[in-house]
Amino acid sequence: MARIEIIMPQMGESITEGTIVRWLKKVGDHVNKDEVLLEISTDKVDSEIPSPAAGTLVEIVTPENGTVPVRTVIAWLETAGAVAGAPLPAAEPLSPSAGPAPAPVPQGRRETPPPAAAGRFYSPLVLSIARTEGIPLTELEPIPGTGEGGRLTKKDLLAHVASRKSAPAAPSVAAAVSAAPGPVALQSVDVPALRAKYPAPAYEILQMSNVMQKMAQHMVQSVQTSPHVAAVHEADMTAVVKHRDENAAEFEKKEGFRLTFTPYIAEAVISAIKKYPLVNSSVEGDKIIRKNFINLGLAVASESGLIVPVIRNAEEKNFTGLARAVNDLALRTRAKKLVPEDIQGGTFTITNYGVFGTLLGMPIINQPQVAILGTGAIRKRPVVIDDAIAIRSIAYLTLAFDHRIIDGALGGMFLEEIVQNLQRRDREWKI
């Protein structure tokens, strides 16, 4: 028998500590290699962590809700073989056959998709096919592999692609960005000092999740850093609604997930940023750092709180590519399959509170960005067009921006450009 240590992984270079959200195994339980052992939370991302080996969990050093520095031993696993001490895998481990570590990729660029979050290895060819077909990594995991050791082969994936296109499409959990399965589940706690002030049963004391705590700190810091100004424009979404309705069935049959309004808004924002690139900046002291790439953040509500994953180099994607990226991020966010790189380096953010029925909101800037777009619910309303009343699908778009570098004129022109991109009847959304 051999004892190996389980350590708190470092989920990114800037991560210094992690919090154990939940142990999925208890002392005495057997665990298979790559089986999810626990869930952790950092100030960047929540992750499910697989076991580095098969064995029995013999000791839990750090209990649930405990926060420890990275590389700290949090548990011990006993295995049948003579295995050397094995830390939990980092966020993006290289496979044994991957060869030397690749050269650093410039910020905002990503050459290949990450390996599977559960530790399963996919060949570069399989990853290339998956990317071409718009198949997220989470969809690869349940596909049976006929290769050595159950590895997924090109033949396996192509067979899945063929069945995927011919079978009726299953409903997607990513009906829209920000659509949540329900409210965040919070644990009841008993704090004597607070209980004296808030006696039961009239009051219930709940513990904020780690994600909620970090989000709260981030939002307070943002308001203290940036002088927020907001502008609201009305957008006639009739052309978008019509195009989506006419193409939704064909799109879902072809792609395997629902067509939402988010790709339309994302494309309109990207086009507007290209015309007004100062909005795609950050501020350091008295210097403005303008980004020549667009990493588009999308606020997604998950069971642990609001997370903002990023579509990297969004300006390089066509409409269908944006739709695939939106769906992939939403799925992986809710499945806790994001890696730190997925939520870092954003240059502009969209938050879609309209999916909850909210008509108008005032979002807080996601630092160090200088602007954020909030999209309200689309509602049919009577409007005046050429002195006649017509029924149109209308939504309110709110742009919150950093008044240190964006004035009312720039903010208004940028927002109006987004509106015009959505309203243009001659615009082609190629599917």
DSSP letter string, 220-278: HHHHHHS-EEEEEEEEE-HHHHHHHHHHHHHHHHHHSS---SHHHHHHHHHHHHHHSGG
State yes or no: is 387 an active-site residue: no
H helix and E strand count, the chain: 9, 21
The strand pairing partners of 283, in sequence order, are 288
Residues 226 and 353 in one domain: yes
Residue 146: give its domain's CATH number: 4.10.320
Q: Which residues contact 199 (CB under 8 A, 6 or more apart)?
A: none
Residues 371 and 290 in one domain: yes
Residue 25: give its domain's CATH number: 2.40.50.100
Is residue 202, in this structure, part of any structural domain at all? no
| Catalytic residue from among 218, 236, 403, 426 | 403
Q: Can you tell me whether residue 320 is helix, strand or coil?
A: helix
Residues 25 and 130 in one domain: no
Is residue 41, in this structure, part of any structural domain at all? yes
Q: Residue 229's closest CA among 361, 362, 400, 350? A: 400
| Catalytic residue from among 29, 30, 245, 407 | 407
Residues 337 and 282 in one domain: yes
Sign of the torsion angle spanned by Cα atoms 253, 255, 257, 258? negative
Q: Which residues contact 183 (CB under 8 A, 6 or more apart)?
A: none
- pLDDT, tens digit only, all 431 positions of the chain: 788 899 998 776 667 888 898 899 999 999 988 888 998 887 667 777 888 889 999 999 999 988 899 889 999 999 876 444 444 444 333 233 333 333 333 333 333 333 333 346 566 567 667 766 767 666 776 787 776 556 677 777 887 877 765 544 433 333 344 444 445 667 888 888 998 999 988 889 888 877 778 878 888 989 988 999 999 999 999 999 999 999 999 999 999 999 999 999 999 999 999 999 999 999 999 999 999 999 999 998 777 677 899 999 999 999 999 999 999 998 888 888 888 888 889 999 999 999 889 999 999 999 999 999 999 999 999 999 999 999 999 999 999 999 999 999 999 999 999 999 999 876 778 87
Give pLDDT, residue 148.
57
Q: pTM here?
A: 0.63
Is residue 89, in this structure, part of any structural domain at all? no
Q: Please confirm whether the linkage preceding 93 is cis (ω < 30° from 0).
A: no
Alpha-carbon radius of gyration of the chain: 24
Give pLDDT, residue 284.
92
Q: Look at residues 166, 195, 227 and tell me which one is the last residue of a structural domain.
A: 166
Is residue 206, in this structure, part of any structural domain at all? no
Is residue 182, in this structure, part of any structural domain at all? no
Residues 143 and 257 in one domain: no
Residues 314 and 406 in one domain: yes
Q: Look at residues 18, 44, 79 and tell me which one is the last residue of a structural domain.
A: 79
Residues 45 and 160 in one domain: no
Q: Residue 137's closest CA among 82, 200, 92, 97? A: 92
CA distance to 108, 305, 341, per residue, from 216 (Å) = 26, 11, 21
Is residue 20, in this structure, part of any structural domain at all? yes
DSSP string, 114-132: PPPTTS----HHHHHHHHH
Domain carrying residue 133: 124-166
Residues 219 and 364 in one domain: yes
Is residue 197, in this structure, part of any structural domain at all? no
Residue 411: give its domain's CATH number: 3.30.559.10
Helix axes 408-423, 238-255, angle to 10 degrees: 60
State yes or no: is 243 an active-site residue: no
- C-alpha dihedral, 316 to 317 to 319 to 322, nearest 10°: -130
Q: Look at residues 50, 79, 108 and tell me which one is the last residue of a structural domain.
A: 79
Residues 217 and 333 in one domain: yes
Q: Can you tell me whether residue 394 is helix, strand or coil?
A: strand
Q: Please confirm whether the linkage preceding 363 is cis (ω < 30° from 0).
A: no
Residues 139 and 221 in one domain: no
d(CA 332, CA 316): 21
Residues 309 and 416 in one domain: yes
Is residue 225, in this structure, part of any structural domain at all? yes
Give pLDDT, residue 275.
96
Amino acid at 359: L
Tokens in use for 379? 């509602």
The number of domains in the chain is 3
Residues 136 and 54 in one domain: no
CA distance to 246, 255, 257, 266, 319, per residue, from 249 (Å) = 8, 10, 10, 21, 16
